[in-house]
Structure 1
Amino acid sequence: MTGDATHTAGPAQALPVADRGTVRRSVAELARAEKRSVSLALALHIAAAVAGLAAPWFIGRIVDRVSAGAPASGVDVLALAIAGCVVAQILLSRTAQNVGNRFGERANATLREDFVARTLRLPIGVVERAGTGDLATRSSVDVTTVGNAVRQVVPTVLIAAIRLLLIVGAAFLLHPALGILILAGAPTSLTVARWYLRRAPQAYLAEGEAGSELTESLTATAEGARTVEALRLAGARTREGTARIARQWQTRRATLALRTVFFPVVETGYALPAAAMLLAGGYFLSEGWVTLGAVVAATLYAQQSIEPIDHIMIFLEQAQRGVASLSRILGIGLVAPEPRGVATAPPGQRLVVRGARFCYPGGRDVLHGIDLEVRPGERLAVVGPSGAGKSTLARLLAGIDLPREGVVSLGGVAVTDLDPAERRRRIALVTQEHHVFIGTVRDNLAFAAPGASDQDMCRALAAVDADWFAELPDGLDTALGDGARALHPADAQQLALARLVLADPHTLILDEATAALDPTTARRTERSLAAVLHGRTVIAIAHRLYTAHDADRVAVLEQGRITELGSHDELVRAGGAYAALWHSWHGDKA
């Protein structure tokens, strides 16, 4: 059973992207949720950085002692202190990294779980109009990028920033003039970083969007491979894919152009502090402002500053990717969720459509003032030419789409005012396109009825004449999906219909649900379903007219309007559009 159709109108509509404020609040909430781990990791990293700063200071003291002719015993003590600081730095850094990695994995798991929850709350219509490429890219590439950022980029940048501040502070403690010299490369780095940050966010968002478009194009081509081959569309699809690849290549060239400016300029600034320290430090030493040990220590600090600056600048580029990906992930949550109605409707009530008009975004009305009543327990067939609006009407009846005007109600309660869980329990829409989830046959059936027993599942499969089930080697435990047993499209449809039997809805909407079955199997399956669902309200979108022949009433839909409504015999006698369809179809069968 499904709660959707795969109909889309027009080009895919990109899902929203969160702004920087939303991203900052999300990161802050994540940090608050793990404040103990974050605080412990920061404390350990600060202690490790302080231990790392001690070595240059002790080396400076050694230089001063040797210059002053101090005894070697004092130098040995300082050398041992340096060794102790190095060991302490290693141990503290290792512990801090373990704490940070555990935090990173928990944060990554939280982000993934939140993303899945947000995705499952998306209205079905939004998912369909967005297309598979955008959502697939966000759920794979973007989630992975953010996970790497949480585990590596954020801790590395934060730790490097703390180390850099401590190094600069230590240089100022040696002498304020030496502290100023260690900042000699700052103007160059800050200027190019500002230039980069103004351009990088949009560039990486554009790259992500181009990746989504490419995925969408390749997915559409792969899923429609048989159609492409049958209609000789290989050339057109190749050109389409080439255009998408060219678009992605352009966006990646744009981000690469930023990096080719950013990194060389930053790297030229690395040598400035040490060079300034040696040149100006010599002058300060000759003037007696500082000792030789202070100049040596400050120069070592200048060398030490290269690593954290390098980490900040390198991971700044990856951080932009992470921020762009996080913006795309959080954008899922900006989509208005499906209305959470609280009303309930008593069972066995009429499904009524009054004055319903509907249009897809950016298009004209597909339905024009539909008025229809479906009585409890009635079998209604909806027939009409392709493009008449039959599937759109099915979606309105199921509450997936909202009418632009008018109302669809069940027992006097608007379908959209019903709680979504109750609406899906009361009204089920089954289309001709079904998904087989990775898992066992039991897993696939349990989606419709988690509490169903094995006997219930076997009876449901038998009810839809799923003869193939008897040939499965492990029965309900047979693995299905990618890398396991692949079901024929007709078998997948019967699996979906078995879900329907287990779900046991009050109202069933079949949107050409047996289209993938051959006529004989479809006829047998529909008869089996009719027996199982006796007493239920059934609305069948039919392209095989024997479905209409067996229905209580037939509604003929033409150009978005119901032009005829009555029983099969009544409409045949009326000699209208349905009679013409029936005679044409029946004549083909004769």
Structure 2
Amino acid sequence: MSGTDGAQPAPGVRLPLATGREVRRVIGTYVRDRRGPAVATVALAALASAAGLVAPWAVGRIVDTVLTGGEPGAVVASAVLVGAAGLLGAVLTAVSAALVVRIGQHVLARLREQTVSSALRLPAGELEESGRGDLLSRVGDDVGVVADVVTRLLAPLVGALLTVALTVAGLVALDPWLAVAGLTALPVYALSLRWYLPRAGRRYAAERAAFADRAEALVSTLDGLRTVRAYGAETAHAERITASSARARDISRDVLWFGTAWGKWMNIAELVGLASIVAVGFAVVAAGTATVGEVTAAALYFHRMFNPIGMIMMSFDELQSAVASLSRIVGVVTAAPEPTPAPAQRPTGEVLARGVSHRYASAEVLHDVTVALAAGERVALVGPSGAGKSTLAVLLAGLAAPSAGEVTVGGTPVERFGSASPKPVVLVSQEAHVFAGPLADDLRLARPDATDDEIERALKTTGADAWVAALPQGARTVVGELGHSLTPEQAAQVALARALLADPVVVVLDEATAESGSRSATRLEDAADAVLDGRTGLVVAHRLRQASRADRILVMADGRVVEAGSHEELLAAGGHYAELWAAWQV
């Protein structure tokens, strides 16, 4: 009777993506927190761009002064003005760029923090369906993409946008006809963007999804490395990783070539705009409505927009990737349920699951299950592998929401206790995880204010005190991946001691003693009994001897409860439980 009843992640099942409106709302909230610095940054960047308008205007004055035989002093004054404006613009640009990056880093830090906290609130079932690779790529790869845009691209992009806007205003002020001539480049830019953006968006979304698939293939293989080696499946898994990496590479290469081919349209737009200014310039000078210096200034103004417009256009390539990443990151934020205040009073121990059904992707694993546990009652849950035992245990513990029906503890929906600390319902699973770090810190995850004496009593109650005392630094010894490795029995004892420290009203043991061998089975079952003492308990029983000591036994098959009663009653009935007991006795 294995403890894994859940379905494997269905291909193509992913965490949701945020809409454009959701992305703007979340980012806007962060920016409004820094409203003052943001306004100052835009003002400084605008002044820097305005300072850049001085040079073309001054050069135009120099041309007219030379052509009309003006004073040499006027030429020198214009040259000095160009230098002073350039210096001022450089200083303002540096300061505004630093402020842009600072604000961007603040927004990014807030986004990263909220993404991680939201990921921790996601229902366990939803994470299992989507696979951890999808989540890891969002909090890793996608955050990295956005961070790169913030640190490297955001400040130049803000400056480029302001430069283009103010330069167009300068062209209009200089001569409206010359401004119209320069704006003939805009249709070329607009048409190329209209063709590019929808196609690029799909490509970048596919690229990010391919990165997620690659991460999932790698993570799942590394997690199950021992099993892979045990069955000699290294080649098959290596081929799976290679195939997912090759697909990600091919999509990235397609995106690169697509962006490169699109770049030629910017050169065409520049040619159209500059040629129009020169042609109209001849006409307005001939008509006497503008001077050669003004046409020169207009050409320099338009030429001044080449780099900013090119930067804006080329940044769409990276912005599309960043937007795709933001929709995935914010998708985690919006998918997580908002924390609700936990009830002020500690609930009583009655547990009721009414009409509960649950599905993973398209497969329904629980069908209209109704279960009631009285306060202080110990109920065992038995049945063949795949019967739905672990799924029901997870739902009763409030770690996932049922697809239909409801679960209450003491009359309160179990999800209301999601933000409670410590939680009134604790699940101890078969796969007892030991976090890397001091053992005492691991135990304090259940109750951060636990004293050393309370930790020592919890370890003694679960039978772990002897081997913990033998560690080099006792409970302060670093365990897990970074330190002392624990045996499966020791890890199970730590998990039970952690549950004891939490002092819950309801304890759910999902085959928590299944990792023990026959020699240590009795010790772990005694530890589990100590944790259950005086509490409502649901025990997904790996060994029927543990089930026989329960007040009541529920037998599951095919996602339904098919029998219920005491050990003696079920044996006398001669049904499913009697068959299981007879097989276990043999």
- Tell me the TM-score normalised to structure 2 length: 0.89
1:36-115 aligned within 5 A: 36-115=36-115
2:307 alignment counterpart = 307
Deviation at 1:320, TM superposition (A): 1.0
CA–CA separation in structure 1 for the residues paired with 2:489 and 2:59: 79
Deviation at 1:287, TM superposition (A): 4.9
1:469-508 aligned within 5 A: 469-480=468-479, 487-508=486-507
Aligned match of 2:449 in 411, 434, 451? Answer: 451
1:144-543 aligned within 5 A: 144-278=144-278, 280-282=280-282, 284-335=284-335, 337=337, 340=340, 349-353=349-353, 356-364=356-364, 366-368=365-367, 370-402=369-401, 408-411=407-410, 413=411, 415-416=413-414, 418-421=416-419, 425-466=423-464, 467-480=466-479, 487-543=486-542
**Is the 2:356–2:367 Cα contact (8 Å) retained in structure 1?**
yes
Deviation at 1:310, TM superposition (A): 1.6
**Is the 2:57–2:297 Cα contact (8 Å) retained in structure 1?**
yes
Aligned residue type for 2:173: L
Instruction: From the superposition, tell whether residues 171 and 239 of structure 1 become closer, same or farther in structure 2 (CA, over 3 Å).
Output: same
**Is the 2:196–2:262 Cα contact (8 Å) retained in structure 1?**
yes
CA–CA separation in structure 2 for the residues paired with 1:105 and 1:339: 26
Instruction: From the superposition, tell whether residues 283 and 238 of structure 1 become closer, same or farther in structure 2 (CA, over 3 Å).
Output: same
Deviations 1:38-64 (A, max 9, x none): 111111111111111112211222222
CA–CA separation in structure 2 for the residues paired with 1:26 and 1:562: 45
CA–CA separation in structure 1 for the residues paired with 2:23 and 2:346: 44
**Is the 2:499–2:531 Cα contact (8 Å) retained in structure 1?**
no
**Is the 1:107–1:150 Cα contact (8 Å) retained in structure 2?**
no
Choose 346-355 or 12-21, whichever is displaced more: 346-355
**Is the 1:184–1:276 Cα contact (8 Å) retained in structure 2?**
yes
CA–CA separation in structure 2 for the residues paired with 1:310 and 1:6: 56
Aligned residue type for 2:438: T
**Is the 1:508–1:539 Cα contact (8 Å) retained in structure 2?**
yes
Deviations 1:320-371 (A, max 9, x none): 111111111222244372795877887554434455444444124x344545
Instruction: From the superposition, tell whether residues 340 and 247 of structure 1 become closer, same or farther in structure 2 (CA, over 3 Å).
Output: same
2:554 alignment counterpart = 555
Aligned positions, number = 582
1:584 alignment counterpart = 583
**Is the 1:344–1:419 Cα contact (8 Å) retained in structure 2?**
no
Deviation at 1:417, TM superposition (A): 6.9
CA–CA separation in structure 2 for the residues paired with 1:517 and 1:44: 67
CA–CA separation in structure 2 for the residues paired with 1:181 and 1:482: 67
Secondary structure in 1 aligned to 2:158?
A: helix
Deviation at 1:405, TM superposition (A): 5.9
Choose 272-281 or 65-74, whichever is displaced more: 272-281
Deviation at 1:452, TM superposition (A): 0.6
CA–CA separation in structure 2 for the residues paired with 1:460 and 1:516: 20
**Is the 2:351–2:409 Cα contact (8 Å) retained in structure 1?**
yes
Deviation at 1:263, TM superposition (A): 1.4
Deviation at 1:477, TM superposition (A): 4.2
CA–CA separation in structure 2 for the residues paired with 1:105 and 1:543: 50
Instruction: From the superposition, tell whether residues 190 and 367 of structure 1 become closer, same or farther in structure 2 (CA, over 3 Å).
Output: closer
**Is the 1:125–1:401 Cα contact (8 Å) retained in structure 2?**
yes
Deviation at 1:223, TM superposition (A): 0.7
CA–CA separation in structure 2 for the residues paired with 1:225 and 1:468: 28
Deviation at 1:278, TM superposition (A): 4.4
Deviation at 1:173, TM superposition (A): 2.7
Residue 7 (1) aligns with residue 9 (2): no
CA–CA separation in structure 1 for the residues paired with 2:152 and 2:423: 45
Deviation at 1:271, TM superposition (A): 4.2
Instruction: From the superposition, tell whether residues 402 and 297 of structure 1 become closer, same or farther in structure 2 (CA, over 3 Å).
Output: closer
Aligned residue type for 2:230: A
Instruction: From the superposition, tell whether residues 493 and 310 of structure 1 become closer, same or farther in structure 2 (CA, over 3 Å).
Output: farther
Choose 312-321 or 272-281, whichever is displaced more: 272-281
Choose 188-197 or 557-566, whichever is displaced more: 557-566
Aligned residue type for 2:93: S
Instruction: From the superposition, tell whether residues 180 and 414 of structure 1 become closer, same or farther in structure 2 (CA, over 3 Å).
Output: same
Deviations 1:383-430 (A, max 9, x none): 22211221122123223445566654444x254475434597222111
**Is the 2:6–2:360 Cα contact (8 Å) retained in structure 1?**
no
Deviation at 1:474, TM superposition (A): 4.2
Aligned residue type for 1:470: A
**Is the 1:344–1:418 Cα contact (8 Å) retained in structure 2?**
no
Deviation at 1:502, TM superposition (A): 0.7
**Is the 2:175–2:290 Cα contact (8 Å) retained in structure 1?**
yes
**Is the 2:397–2:414 Cα contact (8 Å) retained in structure 1?**
no
Secondary structure in 2 aligned to 1:269?
A: helix
Aligned residue type for 1:36: G
Deviation at 1:161, TM superposition (A): 1.4
CA–CA separation in structure 2 for the residues paired with 1:129 and 1:142: 20
Secondary structure in 2 aligned to 1:543?
A: coil
**Is the 1:6–1:433 Cα contact (8 Å) retained in structure 2?**
no
Aligned residue type for 1:251: I
Instruction: From the superposition, tell whether residues 487 and 293 of structure 1 become closer, same or farther in structure 2 (CA, over 3 Å).
Output: farther
Secondary structure in 1 aligned to 2:553?
A: strand
Deviation at 1:312, TM superposition (A): 0.3
Secondary structure in 1 aligned to 2:537?
A: strand
Unaligned runs of 5+ in 1: none
Choose 314-323 or 373-382, whichever is displaced more: 373-382
Aligned residue type for 2:198: R
Instruction: From the superposition, tell whether residues 75 and 131 of structure 1 become closer, same or farther in structure 2 (CA, over 3 Å).
Output: same
Deviations 1:440-498 (A, max 9, x none): 33332222101111222233233333355335444444445555555555443333222
CA–CA separation in structure 1 for the residues paired with 2:408 and 2:104: 48
Deviations 1:511-543 (A, max 9, x none): 111223333234212213423542222222122
Aligned residue type for 1:255: V
CA–CA separation in structure 1 for the residues paired with 2:581 and 2:117: 47
Deviation at 1:15, TM superposition (A): 1.4
Aligned residue type for 2:307: E
Choose 152-161 or 569-578, whichever is displaced more: 569-578
Unaligned runs of 5+ in 2: none
**Is the 1:156–1:315 Cα contact (8 Å) retained in structure 2?**
no
**Is the 2:381–2:389 Cα contact (8 Å) retained in structure 1?**
yes
CA–CA separation in structure 2 for the residues paired with 1:106 and 1:204: 25
Residue 18 (1) aligns with residue 18 (2): yes
Q: CA RMSD in A?
A: 3.1
Instruction: From the superposition, tell whether residues 178 and 351 of structure 1 become closer, same or farther in structure 2 (CA, over 3 Å).
Output: closer
**Is the 2:182–2:302 Cα contact (8 Å) retained in structure 1?**
yes
